[in-house]
Amino acid sequence: MNITISSRKTSVKDSFRERVAKKLGKLDRFFDDTADAVVTVSSENDRETVEVTVRAGGMFYRAEKTTGDRMDSLEAVVDSLVKQIVKNKSKLEQRLRASAFDKQYGDASLPEDSDYSLVRTKRFPVKPMSVEEAILQMNMLGHSFFMFRDAQTGDICAVYRRKGDSYGLIEPTDDEEDENE
């Protein structure tokens, strides 16, 4: 697994880099050598946030934890990723290594849904508008996301509300390299 570590408002020591490599080594049994892990560490006041995004086989696995200690956040993130994978193991088995689920995880006590339950389908016209108009429309509706057709490109896009009163934009792309921006 290729690991990239970045930091925001803090610095990362070599001891933490080694710990990240050791902890993410737990995930090697699930992914092949082409998997990419991006670890982002941020510090604000007395809170340490560790976010890990793993990209493998066209799928993304992401977890983020904030605690008072960076090492505790790292532990919690890796545990969360393992739980996500184990919980959805029947749906992910074709995308992950065949030997990933040994006896240790074979009879996981986590609930396992056999199907995703679609309870509602909604249809609506996707009108051309700017990103700013889409955000305004989303806020007026009180939704956390909003789909629209970009007036400049004609592509179907989505805006969404992020933590901290900021917004995100999802745009379609044909290039897999652009997926994690």
Query: pLDDT-based confidence at 158, cuts 50/70/90?
Result: very high
In the chain, domain spans: 2-106, 128-173
Residues ≥6 apart with Cβ < 8 Å to 75: 23
The CATH code of the domain at 128-173 is 3.30.505.50
pLDDT, tens only, 47-93: 999 999 888 877 788 889 999 999 999 999 999 888 887 776 666 66
Report the CATH number of the 2-106 domain. Answer: 3.30.160.100
Q: How far apart are CA 18 and CA 120, in angstroms?
A: 46
Instruction: List, in sequence order, the alpha helices (H) in 122-164.
Output: 131-141
Classify 68 as helix, strand or coil. Answer: coil
pLDDT of 181 higher than 70: no
- Would residue 154 be called left, alpha or beta, if left means φ above 0 and alpha means ψ between -120 and 50 degrees? left
Half-sphere exposure of 16 (CA within 13 A, CB side): 19
Q: At 7, is the secondary structure helix, strand, or coil? A: strand
User: What's residue 178's pLDDT?
Assistant: 54
Beta bridge partners of 155: none
* Per-residue pLDDT band at 31 (split at 50, 70, 90): confident
Rounded Cα distance between 76 and 64, Å, is 8
- The pLDDT assigned to 40 comes to 93
Residues 79-137 pLDDT 10s = 988 888 777 666 666 556 555 555 555 544 444 555 667 888 888 788 899 999 888 88
The pLDDT value given to residue 55? 85
